Amino acid sequence: MAATQSPSSKTWAQTRGAKWRDQLDPMEAMLAPIDAPLIAALNLSERVRIAEIGAGGGATTRAIAAAAPPGSTIEGFDISPELVEAAKARVGNAARFTLADAAHFRPTEQFDRLASRFGVMFFEAPETAFANLLQWLRPEGTLAFAVWGPAKEVAFMASVREAVAAVIELPQPEPDTPGPCRYGDPSGLLALLEAAGFRNCDARPWRGDLQVGGGMPPEAAAEFLLASSSAAAPLAEAGAGEQIRASERLAAICAENVLDGTVWMPARVEIITAVA
Ligand SMILES: C[S@@+](CC[C@H](N)C(=O)[O-])C[C@H]1O[C@@H](n2cnc3c(N)ncnc32)[C@H](O)[C@@H]1O
């Protein structure tokens, strides 16, 4: 059976950051619909200092900077050197970017808002990480985090799994280990935030359709999804024949989800909010 491949902060810093960077444009185009509910939850009604955790290539940073009142500042933090460099090059003067492990780094000044789009599910020791992040916020400061819902309700992830598991044996992800759907049941994350000292912790589901790769026909969508999946490595190890079979199977699933020539898949996201 193939080894568990779910990424942790450590793998983002080592290899996964460069992989994400290589697919930034299609990945960020696919995830763009999440920015509106995340930014609404940040409640940017006055001038604020904002920190973004796991800022990646900076697309959400740029969206938050555009939505924030004049005089606001935003700083993106990420553990991947490749992604911090990419974000600096793409976002320019609209934001600052700092290479840091958010689980342990302590900024010199506190922030009014803490934001993250899919950047807080990878901590090796989440109790320590969220207790540290509490210290990033001034008293009464607020956070808004987007995390994926249950894997079976994130159709592009479920489809990749279905296609690959039809060809090679894939283990079920261990519960409560780093990975994209770790907080698919958000009650675990809410309990962690409360234990860390946050108040008024809340989760609200967002459901919508995501355009795979930002607008791709089925074969290209299948290639994009497989290449960005953690199942790519065990599939490559299995051999070229297995890769082709998984790719064809995924393309067939993608073909069932075409609208106007491109693949759309439904997803559930949880928007988490809390007060320091
Ligand atoms: C799924 S990507 C999301 C990137 C970006 N927020 C987006 O939505 O396009 C997760 C991001 O979290 C970052 N990350 C993971 N663990 C981290 C940590 N401990 N500290 C800072 N960044 C981390 C990764 O390097 C990566 O950029």
At 172 the pLDDT is 83
At 22 the pLDDT is 95
Confidence class for position 176, pLDDT limits 50, 70, 90: confident
CATH of domain 9-151+172-208+267-275: 3.40.50.150
The preferred substitution site among 6, 8, 9 for testing ligand 1, maximizing ligand atoms within 8 Å of CB, is: 9
| CA 41 – ligand 1 centroid, Å | 19
pLDDT, tens digit, 9 for 90 and up, residues 13-57:
999 999 999 999 999 999 999 999 999 999 999 999 999 999 999
Question: Which residue is closest in CA terms to ligand 1's atom 4?
Answer: 56
Output DSSP code: residue 201: E
pLDDT, tens digit, 9 for 90 and up, residues 190-248:
999 999 999 999 999 999 999 999 999 999 999 999 999 988 889 999 999 999 999 99
Q: Which atom of ligand 1 is nearest to the CA of 28?
A: 9
Q: Which atom of ligand 1 is nearest to the CA of 9?
A: 16
Q: Which atom of ligand 1 is nearest to the CA of 83?
A: 27
pLDDT, tens digit, 9 for 90 and up, residues 52-66:
999 999 999 999 999
At 1 the pLDDT is 47
At 91 the pLDDT is 97
State if residue 102 touches ligand 1 by the CB under 6 angstroms criterion: yes
At 132 the pLDDT is 98
| CA 52 – ligand 1 centroid, Å | 10
Question: Which residue is closest in CA terms to ligand 1's atom 19?
Answer: 101
| CA 17 – ligand 1 centroid, Å | 8
Cα–Cα dist 53/145, whole Å: 9
Cβ proximity of 266 and 209 under 8 Å: yes
**For residue 5, pLDDT beyond 70:** no
At 6 the pLDDT is 81
**For residue 4, pLDDT beyond 70:** no
Average pLDDT over the chain, rounded to an integer: 96
Task: Retrieve residue 40's tokens.
Answer: 């609404």
CA atoms within a 13 Å half-sphere pointing along the CA-CB vector of 152: 2
Confidence class for position 275, pLDDT limits 50, 70, 90: very high
45: three-class secondary structure by DSSP: coil
State if residue 118 touches ligand 1 by the CB under 6 angstroms criterion: yes
Q: Residue 206: what are its φ and ψ, rounded to 5°? A: -120, 130
| CA 118 – ligand 1 centroid, Å | 7
Cβ proximity of 50 and 68 under 8 Å: yes
pLDDT, tens digit, 9 for 90 and up, residues 108-123:
999 999 999 999 999 9
The structural domains of the chain, with segments of one domain joined by +, span: 9-151+172-208+267-275
pLDDT, tens digit, 9 for 90 and up, residues 77-99:
999 999 999 999 999 999 999 99
